[in-house]
Structure 1
Amino acid sequence: MTQTHHTAPTARRTAPRPHDDDAARARSHGRPATEAAHQRCELLGAAVDPLTMDETVAAIEQLLEDGGHGHNHLAMNAAKLVSVSNDPELVERFATATLVTADGQALVWASKLLGDPLPERVAGIDLMDRLVDLSAHNGRRIYLLGATDEVVRQVRWRFLARGANVVGFHNGFWRREGITDEQMAETVSRSRPDIVLVGVPSPLKEDFVFGQKERTKAGICVGVGGSFDVVAGRTSRAPRWMQRAGMEWFWRLVQEPRRMFKRYLVGNTKFVWLVLRARWHRA
């Protein structure tokens, strides 16, 4: 289902253009020449952009200013990094993504321990919040894809109330409805979005953000996982002190033990082992 709403665009802020040698480094990593402002870090075999939240938002602004489409943003966390270590196809997806940032505090700590530090965590839900502000500021067109019908409608109204230009939405269960990823992407494209916020779980999130980025004709597809449920009040974020302490995973585990047990307890244990093994080999 597609709904249309417009707000009058205002003057757009322009992020500083990175240097040409940065674009060359981006190409050398096998990803599109997006003129990323920094050379990527390698963390346990996965490429991650060493960007702050402000730098990530500025990079997305610049991509949109430059025009074109087919860009994507993927978030890396401990569980995803463990999956990457066992999946060459996933390695390729992250290596060729336009932007990859550290969604988990554990990655920031691990990067420092291994000598290639990431500056800070760029949480998907916080990035989404900044992009909603961006839309409210300059009229960038946002499409919401994910969660249940009820939840995505609530998210739409909340974002509209903030002044964002939400041009369409659809629930995250299109496959159950007999809609292919390609058909869903074509539906999204008819709303002519600048930004598609993809609020579905992995691996569907990566399948769509990577596989359908061109077909959506959006400036950028951004994976935001379960963020819609938080915005709609269905789930809650951990207290700030737990986020800063890198314990948000425990909060989510308590809220959804059946769904999160394997991801966090099993996955996090393997992540720690991978980090310690890498540290041992560097010693």
Structure 2
Amino acid sequence: MTGPGSTWAQHALLASRRRKFLGSPVHALSMDETLAIAAEAMATRRPLLHVVVNVAKLVNMRKNEELREDVTTADVVNVDGTGVLWGARLCGIALPERVTGIDLMINLFALSAERGWRPYLLGAEQHVLDAVAERLARDYPALIVAGRRDGYFKPEEEAAVVAAINASGADCLFVAMSTPRKERFLKRYRAELAASFVMGVGGSFDVYGGKVARAPKLLQAAGLEWLFRVAQEPRRLWRRYYDTNTAYALLLCQEIWSRRSRRHTGP
């Protein structure tokens, strides 16, 4: 059921599930709850901006004020990374599960095919976009893709890109660009974009389109998805993950110590 009452209920749910971890809001939502919120937004044509946070993004938010603003002003902030999930729980923040961007995206493809909603695909390389479209045609024959555009456009072309997205009649928008570019794009144009549900999906098109392999589920569960990625592109990624993982470990230790100190000293 949709309508004003259900929209109010979604607002109340998001407000009641909003938490704060290392300076970032996070929502204590399951995958099913997040899907229901996205579906409600598209069914009622209510704009909703979704982002995810992982270890790297939490660390980079500490030194990039624009990125911090882009994340903290989003409507829904899911925990994507296992490291963030475990860290939050160590700090006493109860989160039901991680909701990865790629899994949410795939689930929304299936839901859109079922309900007749049309996604727009923005980002990645053209050959990757073509591979994603081909796979979508196989996996969800009923799905109609509103349009697609690669991510290699200049800042002065952004207005035309937004106009094309709006002209397509898309119900949802998936932006496969790197951080912080995708967050900045969505924050800058969220009031102009006609698609109800918009989210950044990072490298998810590369995975879904077959350019990059995803870590086996065992490694995902062990929190070692990052190590699998480094093994695929060691020269490009090892330093990035070393720096962000080290910084995150330090921040987490400081947060745990601070929380314990406050408990012992009292109000």
The two structures have a TM-score, normalised by structure 2, of: 0.90
The answer on 1:58 being equivalent to 2:47 is no
Match of 2:6 among 10, 14, 17: 17
Q: Deviations over 1:127-160 (max 9, x none)?
A: 1110100111001110011111111011112113
Alignment length, in residue pairs? 257
Which whole-Å CA distance do the structure 2 matches of 1:18 and 1:192 have between them? 22
- Which SS does the other structure have where 1:74 is aligned? strand
- Which stretch of the first structure deviates more once superposed, 190-199 or 204-213? 204-213
The answer to whether the Cα contact below 8 Å between 2:178 and 2:203 also exists between their aligned partners in 1 is yes
The answer to whether the Cα contact below 8 Å between 2:51 and 2:71 also exists between their aligned partners in 1 is yes
Match of 2:151 in 1: 172
- Root-mean-square deviation (CA, aligned residues, Å) is 2.0
In the superposition, relative to structure 1, how do residues 270 and 113 fare at CA in structure 2: closer, same or farther (>3 Å)?
A: same
- Which stretch of the first structure deviates more once superposed, 211-220 or 140-149? 211-220
Match of 1:214 in 2: 191
Equivalent position amino acid for 1:60 in 2? A
- Which SS does the other structure have where 2:153 is aligned? coil
In the superposition, relative to structure 1, how do residues 256 and 220 fare at CA in structure 2: closer, same or farther (>3 Å)?
A: same
Which whole-Å CA distance do the structure 2 matches of 1:133 and 1:106 have between them? 28
Could you tell me which runs of 5 or more consecutive residues in structure 2 were left unpaired when the two chains were aligned. 261-267
Alpha-carbon offset, residue 119 of structure 1: 1.3
Match of 2:92 among 103, 115, 118: 115
In the superposition, relative to structure 1, how do residues 277 and 216 fare at CA in structure 2: closer, same or farther (>3 Å)?
A: same
Alpha-carbon offset, residue 193 of structure 1: 0.6
Alpha-carbon offset, residue 19 of structure 1: 5.7
Which whole-Å CA distance do the structure 2 matches of 1:262 and 1:185 have between them? 35
Match of 2:180 in 1: 203
The two structures have a TM-score, normalised by structure 1, of: 0.85
1:215-230 matches, cutoff 5 A: 215-230=192-207
Alpha-carbon offset, residue 37 of structure 1: 6.2
In the superposition, relative to structure 1, how do residues 159 and 179 fare at CA in structure 2: closer, same or farther (>3 Å)?
A: farther
In the superposition, relative to structure 1, how do residues 14 and 259 fare at CA in structure 2: closer, same or farther (>3 Å)?
A: farther
Which whole-Å CA distance do the structure 1 matches of 2:16 and 2:240 have between them? 30
Could you tell me which runs of 5 or more consecutive residues in structure 1 were left unpaired when the two chains were aligned. 1-12, 25-34
Percent identity (aligned): 37
1:55-204 matches, cutoff 5 A: 55-69=33-47, 71-161=48-138, 162=140, 163-175=142-154, 179-204=156-181
